[in-house]
Amino acid sequence: MNPVAENMFGLKPGTAIGKFPREVWREFELAEIFHQVFVTAEPKEREIWLDPPAKRLIKVQLTPIRMEEEGETQGVLAVIRDLTRLRHLETVRSDFVANVSHELRTPLTSIKGFIETLLDGGLSNEESARRFLTIISQETDRLNRLINDLLDLSKLESGRTELNQTRLYLAPLVEEVRQTMDARLAEKRLSFSVELGSVAVWADEDRIREVLVNLIDNAVKYTPEGGSIRIMEIGRGNEQEFIVCDTGFGIPKESLGRIFERFYRVDKARSREMGGTGLGLSIVKHIIERHKGRVWVESELGKGSSFHFTLPKYEERLDKRIEHK
């Protein structure tokens, strides 16, 4: 048995030498397959869950060893592959497909329902017809956002998008984003303050705009009337840390670790009502990590949240590197 196999079965080096399989493994199943292959001289393969030393799914392929075609079996060769990660990825993928289908079906069900109501006589009352059509239009917008976010995420995950990193200042970018949200800020009477200096970072302008739109949009969505939003920064060696801080609903402790997952929402109904897709923060995480930065959240329920992210500071040599290419 090689060291990798010993390790997989939690055996000390050399302990299996000179022993029968049944003496080596408590799992009778594996010892039994060795025996069968030896006796029948037929190859076999089997997937087995190991637990302990760790919960792992392995695939064992056993082949009889013979000196000549019809000769007596001398031994059995077992090749083991660890399938744990592969199986985990398969589950993640099928969960993702199930989530996407569910997310697409929800607005579609509502659109279909209102169209049927309209066809069933709802058209005669103009006021309610207008209301139904407004909902249909909103749900169509949601479908559009969802599909755009999904495409964006899939491009980021596949690593197909090149980052276009340049010397970038965040203050003008934040101002640009704030302007697009002016009406909503006024409507909710939210104060908005920006405390950013003139440190440049090394980042992709369009991608960082996306990060800011998502974080500031969330701050606006999840902060009740009269609250405040602040954008700050702290220098940390060759990194710059940015903070989007709000006095909103906050996030319960048990959700803090999951909030950057795709489709994870603390309050599904509230997020949906606000037009959320549940994908914004996972897009943010991908973009920041592509820049070799980190992103995290601190929050207290009922008090507010602060989202932090870091980006590499701009240095002249970074620009030079590009010129040399």
Q: Cβ of residue 266: shortest distance to ligand ADP, in angstroms?
A: 3
Q: Which of 222, 242, 309, 314 binds ligand ADP (CB under 6 A)?
A: 222
Give the interface segment with ligand ADP, choosing from 40-48, 199-207, 214-222, 316-324 (CB under 6 A).
Answer: 214-222
Residue 293 interacting with ligand ADP (CB under 6 A)? no
Closest CA to 298 of 257, 269, 238: 257
Q: Which of 246, 247, 285, 293 binds ligand ADP (CB under 6 A)?
A: 246
Q: Are 240 and 311 in contact (CB under 8 A)?
A: yes
Contact set for ligand ADP, span 262-291 (CB under 6 A):
264-267, 271, 276-281
- Which is closer to ligand ADP, CB of 45 or CB of 267? 267
Closest CA to 296 of 271, 265, 260, 266: 260
Angle subtended by helix axes 126-158 and 280-290, to nearest 10: 30
Angle subtended by helix axes 170-187 and 205-221, to nearest 10: 30
DSSP 3-state of 81:
strand
Q: Cβ of residue 177: shortest distance to ligand ADP, in angstroms?
A: 15
Q: Which residue is nearest to ligand ADP (CB)?
A: 276
Closest CA to 80 of 27, 133, 154: 27
Residue 219 interacting with ligand ADP (CB under 6 A)? yes
Q: Are 117 and 131 in contact (CB under 8 A)?
A: no
Q: Cβ of residue 291: shortest distance to ligand ADP, in angstroms?
A: 19
Closest CA to 201 of 164, 174, 238, 176: 238
Contact set for ligand ADP, span 70-129 (CB under 6 A):
none
CB atoms within 10 A of CB 74: 10
Q: How many residues bind ligand ADP (CB under 6 A)?
A: 21
Angle subtended by helix axes 205-221 and 280-290, to nearest 10: 150
- Which is closer to ligand ADP, CB of 202 or CB of 222? 222
Residue 298 interacting with ligand ADP (CB under 6 A)? no
190: left (phi over 0), alpha (psi -120 to 50) or beta: beta
Q: Cβ of residue 256: shortest distance to ligand ADP, in angstroms?
A: 10
- Which is closer to ligand ADP, CB of 64 or CB of 280? 280
Q: Cβ of residue 275: shortest distance to ligand ADP, in angstroms?
A: 8
Rounded CA-CA distance 70/61 in Å is 21
- Which is closer to ligand ADP, CB of 305 or CB of 310? 305
Q: Cβ of residue 56: shortest distance to ligand ADP, in angstroms?
A: 32
- Which is closer to ligand ADP, CB of 240 or CB of 282? 282
- Which is closer to ligand ADP, CB of 156 or CB of 259? 259
- Which is closer to ligand ADP, CB of 54 or CB of 301? 301
Rounded CA-CA distance 210/216 in Å is 10
- Which is closer to ligand ADP, CB of 273 or CB of 315? 273
Q: How many alpha carbons lie under 13 Å from residue 87 in its C-beta half-sphere?
A: 12
Note the residues at the interface with ligand ADP (CB under 6 A): 214, 218-219, 222, 246, 248-249, 251, 259, 264-267, 271, 276-281, 305
